Amino acid sequence: MIDSILSLRSYNPVVKVLAPIPAMVVAGLSRDLWTPAALTVIALVMLLAFGRLRGRALLWTLAGPPLMVAVLTLSFGVWIDREKVGGWSGALEAGLATGLRVSAVLTLALIAGLTSEGTDLVRSMITHLRMPYRIGYAGFAAMRFVPRFRHDLEIIRLAHRVRGVSTGRGPVATTKRYSGYVVPLLAGAMRHGDRVSLAMEARGFGAYPARTERRRVPLRARDAVLALWLLLLCLVPTLPGVLG
Amino acid sequence: MSDALLRFTGVSVRHEVYDDAGDVGYGIPRPHEITAELRAGEVVLLLGPSGCGKSTLTLTANGLIPHVIGAKMDGTVTVAGAYTAGTTVPELARDVAMVFQDPDAQIVTASVLDEVCFGPENLLVPFAEVLERAEQALRLVGLWDRRDDDPGILSGGGRQRLAIACALALRTPVLVLDEPTANLDPAGVEEVYRTLRAVAAGRDRAVLLVEHNLDAAIEFVDRVIVLDGDGRVVLDGPARTILTDHVDELLTLGVWLPVATLAALRLRSVGVALDPLPLTPGELAAALDTVPALPPPRDTPRSTARSKAAIAVRGLTIRRGPVTVLDDITLDIGAGEFVAVAGANGAGKTTLAQALAGVTPSRKVTITGPAGFVFQNPEHQFLTNRVADELAYGTTDTARVEDLLTRLDLRELRDVHPFLLSGGQKRRLSVGAALVTRPRVLVLDEPTFGQDRARAAELLDLLDGLHRDGTTIVVVSHDMHLIAEYATRLLVLDGGRVLADRTPAEIYADPALLADTGLRPPPLARAARTLVRHPAWHTVTRLADLPVLEPSR
């Protein structure tokens, strides 16, 4: 099922990350309402029809863009100098355009974000973009670091509170408190990093310029089609003229 | 000999040390001029007092020393005939696999299967063979059914078995294990050694092991190499011969012995000679049953007086998100008790300990007098740049600070940065910091976690002294031997509830309870309960219960 040509998940993550970029630039630089609106709708349709989204991701994809457009339209409408844009309607229009531009860029980015695994992206970058595998795997190791870091910070805060470190409010007290966390946090992180790197080398990491990649992330004809389609989205601004 | 898989020839290692000006120098050699050979099928245990260079020696086996770690190595190490000094660490991974102490620091990928494949993939093993090796290794350690799981959700023992599988998948002739069970609970230790026994049964590789928990390791080991405090080889031979024939030398060196052997030595002093010396609980029980009559075990009265409550807990419930961490806990801890809290990982031990010390304040917990709390990792507690300042933090009582510096043997180190202390010194300092306010209650979370036996014993003597002076002690611990020897009361937690609250001896006599909660009786209790001829001894759980000529202490 996951390999179905109708599922965005079966496409190469590098293509999904890189190919929408021109369209994102076009959306970001557009000055009209049509371009970002059309791009948002196209990206949303792609996600909803072929993204195989579930649960929270589905909910946010459905509710997120309209909500964001609404919030940005109103806030910009209030914030913008109404005299310069010709009163309320002008201000709201400028807000709407901004909201649509942001949501177009975001939904285009979500095509990759919601349908690929970070690890597959790294693997594909190693295979297809010739990124050195050392950099990719350093990234993997760093990702495993985050929860440990957070857990350590929690315990250090508790430990310092027990020792009677001031619990004062305000930026000065907070900065002082946090500066006390830095040494134990870094000491722990460096020691952990050291151990992880020793363990990796001990398992042959870096023995050869290449590794066996067990999970091949393929680059197929369908990826070329997807890339072409995403590049063609740059032509969206010219569509109203063509259609009359 | 040409069939030596791992050979050390005159190996000395001097670690880099930095003087006050920041210049690099080299310290004293630990280990010192090691010459030894390991052949296929051998399981060799390295023994020696703390700081003699056992772990350092293991790091030379795959070239981490001198290639990666800043140290100067004299002498040569050869693996399968090749000099480690002339090859790189990753290339040596074809011949030597390592398992380290901390299972968390060995995990790189996001699934069990990927993790085992990582090593062979690095060595450019063909795709199909990577999978075949991974499957074989995972089946051997019993994790094949969990191949798609995130390693993070495995238990401590599970993660260490995964690390062993990763080492096995490299299919090396030499396997090196550096304290593989130091971070594990009793059930985890048992799992790991069950796995290692299966690995060694193949008899096709050489295994080098550093382990302080001799009770767990002894049945797995063929040969013992003993280093002295200067890091030199003093004994090298068959495990049983070394441990039984040279037992007095080992005791003098400060090497930890199996509890069964210690018990036999103690009995020897009251005229019960067990020959040969037993090494395992089973051997101890068998030897005792050949003795027609044994003196009665000592009946040591324990201070279980609970007249004054030091801590009173009434209906304490703590929820974290959807999880109930503590479920309606009601208990009293009397002044002067030594209470141990045990239970499997995730039972709520740390949360309860923090509540008992008032670290996480609750209306349901009443603490009489000041309380101190010692965290699992001492470094998390340190606030200042000097040892003396660390003790003086938040107090004006300079006499107390001076007194503690002497008592904790930290006086010469008073100007040192706390992070530069050794592991045992850091632990003493963190306990000292909690003692400055003269707490009536001292709560410690896993104080012996990741520490070797010598450091653990040092800490426990300190706690025992405080306890005798009247301080109420609460310890969270996996170490059943520690609990048996020192605690007057044992709380067993399971799923946030107190499942049992009795003396350690009573709990160790309840096999069903132990099995349900992942606990294991200490070695001595295991031996005593199986005695056929001496029913009076069934209640013996600690060395202090054994008969002696003179009342000790």
The predicted model scores a pTM of 0.81
Q: Report residue B13 as tokens.
A: 């290692």
* Cβ-based contacts of A189 with chain B (< 8 Å): none
Per-position DSSP letters for B167-204, written without gaps between them: HHHT--SEEEEESTTTT--HHHHHHHHHHHHHHHTT--
Of the residues B95, B108, B373, B389, the best mutation for testing chain A's interface (the one with the most A CB atoms within 10 Å of its CB) is B108
Chain A residues with CB under 8 Å of a chain B CB are 119, 137, 140-141, 143-144, 147-148, 152, 155-156, 158-165, 180, 183-184, 187-188, 192, 195-196, 198-208, 210-214
Residues forming beta bridges with residue B367, ordered by sequence position: B311
- Residue B236's SS3 state is strand
Closest residue in A to B101 (Cα) is: A195
Q: Quick check: B365 pLDDT over 80?
A: yes
Mean pLDDT for B390-402 is: 86
Return all residues near B491 (Cβ < 8 A) that are at least 6 apart.
Answer: B331, B339, B340, B341, B342, B352, B498, B500, B501
CATH 3.10.20.30 fits B309-534, yes or no: no
Q: Quick check: B75 pLDDT over 80?
A: yes
pLDDT bin (cut points 50, 70, 90) of residue B236 is very high
pLDDT in tens, B153-209: 887 788 889 999 999 999 999 999 998 887 777 778 888 888 888 888 888 889 999
Q: Do A200 and B108 touch (CB under 8 A)?
A: yes
* Cβ-based contacts of B382 with chain A (< 8 Å): 183-184
pLDDT of residue B552: 44
Is the CB of B377 inside 8 Å of chain A's CB atoms? Answer: yes
pLDDT of residue B450: 64
Q: Quick check: B49 pLDDT over 90?
A: no
Q: Quick check: B549 pLDDT over 60?
A: yes
Q: Do B118 and A205 touch (CB under 8 A)?
A: yes
Q: Do B379 and A184 touch (CB under 8 A)?
A: yes
Domain ranges of chain B: 309-534
**Minimal Cα–Cα distance from B131 to chain A, Å?**
9
pLDDT of residue A152: 87
pLDDT in tens, B514-533: 888 878 888 888 888 888 88
Q: Do B93 and A147 touch (CB under 8 A)?
A: no
Q: Quick check: B20 pLDDT over 80?
A: no
**Minimal Cα–Cα distance from A3 to chain B, Å?**
19
Of the two residues B254 and B91, the one the predictor is more confident about is: B91
Q: Do A203 and B64 touch (CB under 8 A)?
A: no
**Minimal Cα–Cα distance from B553 to chain A, Å?**
35
Please state, rounded to an integer, the average pLDDT across all residues of chain B. Answer: 87
Closest residue in B to A152 (Cα) is: B380
Of the residues A155, A163, A177, the best mutation for testing chain B's interface (the one with the most B CB atoms within 10 Å of its CB) is A163
**Minimal Cα–Cα distance from B340 to chain A, Å?**
21
Rounded (to 5) percent helix, strand, coil in chain B: 40, 20, 40
pLDDT of residue B298: 80
Q: Which range among A210-214, B403-407, B544-548 has the greatest average pLDDT?
A: B403-407
Return the C-alpha torsion angle A196, A201, A207, A210, nearest 10: -10
Return all residues near B8 (Cβ < 8 A) that are at least 6 apart.
Answer: B34, B35, B36, B37, B57, B60, B75, B76, B77
Is the CB of B280 inside 8 Å of chain A's CB atoms? Answer: no
pLDDT of residue B409: 84
Q: Quick check: B2 pLDDT over 60?
A: no
Q: Do A204 and B108 touch (CB under 8 A)?
A: no
Per-position DSSP letters for A111-132, written without gaps between them: HHHTTS-HHHHHHHHHHHS---
Mean pLDDT for B426-436 is: 89
pLDDT of residue B156: 78
Q: Are strands B233-238 and B489-494 parallel, antiparallel or unpaired?
A: unpaired
Mean pLDDT for B416-445 is: 87
Q: Report residue A217 as tokens.
A: 């992330």
Burial (CB count <10 Å: 0-12, 13-18, 19+), residue A82: middle
Closest residue in A to B69 (Cα) is: A198
ipTM over 0.90: no
* Cβ-based contacts of A158 with chain B (< 8 Å): 354, 359-360, 375
> pLDDT per position in chain A (244 positions), as tens?
467 888 888 889 999 999 999 999 999 998 888 899 999 999 999 998 888 888 888 888 888 888 988 998 888 777 777 777 777 778 888 888 889 999 999 999 999 888 888 888 888 888 888 888 888 888 888 877 888 888 889 888 888 888 777 667 778 888 878 888 888 888 888 888 888 989 999 999 988 888 888 777 888 899 999 999 999 988 888 888 777 6
pLDDT of residue B548: 73
Residues forming beta bridges with residue B372, ordered by sequence position: B442
CA distances from B504 to A180, B340, B507 (A): 40, 9, 5
pLDDT in tens, B91-142: 999 999 999 988 888 888 888 999 999 999 999 999 999 999 999 999 988 8
Q: At residue B344, what is the residue type?
A: A
**Minimal Cα–Cα distance from B74 to chain A, Å?**
21
Is the CB of B356 inside 8 Å of chain A's CB atoms? Answer: no
**Minimal Cα–Cα distance from A21 to chain B, Å?**
29
Of the residues B115, B379, B429, the best mutation for testing chain A's interface (the one with the most A CB atoms within 10 Å of its CB) is B379
Q: Quick check: B306 pLDDT over 80?
A: no
**Minimal Cα–Cα distance from A203 to chain B, Å?**
5
Is the CB of B164 inside 8 Å of chain A's CB atoms? Answer: no
Mean pLDDT for B287-306 is: 75
